């Protein structure tokens, strides 16, 4: 009986811990004049209006700023950054973001 109880505990405790790590859906922040970066758990009921892709020379922060400018140009209220990664060419960063209203 002790082995069975121990087996149950070994199997169930890691599974119970998984629910603690999942992000809870949160409401999106109020729209501002500039597009606001949001995380995946804040997307909720927002409407997806497109995608922005940039290739920017400089630093990852330059690519992030270029993504925000692209979101502003498309009149998006929010954007979620999918990736910012250095390309094969040193110093050139590729970034992608989803735009929302």
Query: Is 26 contained in some domain?
Result: no
Query: Is 76 contained in some domain?
Result: yes
Residue ranges making up the domain that contains 77: 47-101
CATH code of residue 85: 3.30.1660.10
Query: Is 84 contained in some domain?
Result: yes
List the chain residues with pLDDT less than 50.
Answer: none
Nearest partner of 51 among 30, 87, 81, judged by Cα: 81
**Given the DSSP bridges, would you call strands 36-37 and 48-57 parallel, antiparallel or unpaired?**
unpaired
Number of domains in the chain: 1
State both tokens at 81: 């950054």
Query: Is 34 contained in some domain?
Result: no
The confidence score (pLDDT) of residue 21 equals 56
**Given the DSSP bridges, would you call strands 36-37 and 78-86 parallel, antiparallel or unpaired?**
parallel
Distance CA 6, CA 26 (A): 37
Contact 98, 82 (CB under 8 A): yes
The confidence score (pLDDT) of residue 33 equals 82
Distance CA 98, CA 101 (A): 10
The confidence score (pLDDT) of residue 27 equals 67
pTM over 0.75: no
Nearest partner of 56 among 94, 25, 21, judged by Cα: 94
């Amino acid at each position: 009986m002790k082995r069975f109880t121990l087996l149950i505990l070994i199997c169930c405790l890691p599974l119970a811990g998984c629910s603690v790590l999942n992000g809870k859906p949160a409401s999106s922040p109020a729209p501002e004049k500039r597009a606001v970066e949001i995380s995946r758990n804040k997307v909720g009921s927002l409407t997806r209006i497109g995608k922005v892709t940039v290739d920017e020379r400089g630093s990852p922060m330059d690519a992030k700023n270029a993504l925000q400018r692209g979101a502003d140009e498309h009149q998006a209220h929010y954007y979620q950054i999918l990736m910012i990664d250095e390309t094969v060419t040193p110093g050139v960063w590729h970034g992608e973001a989803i735009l929302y209203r």
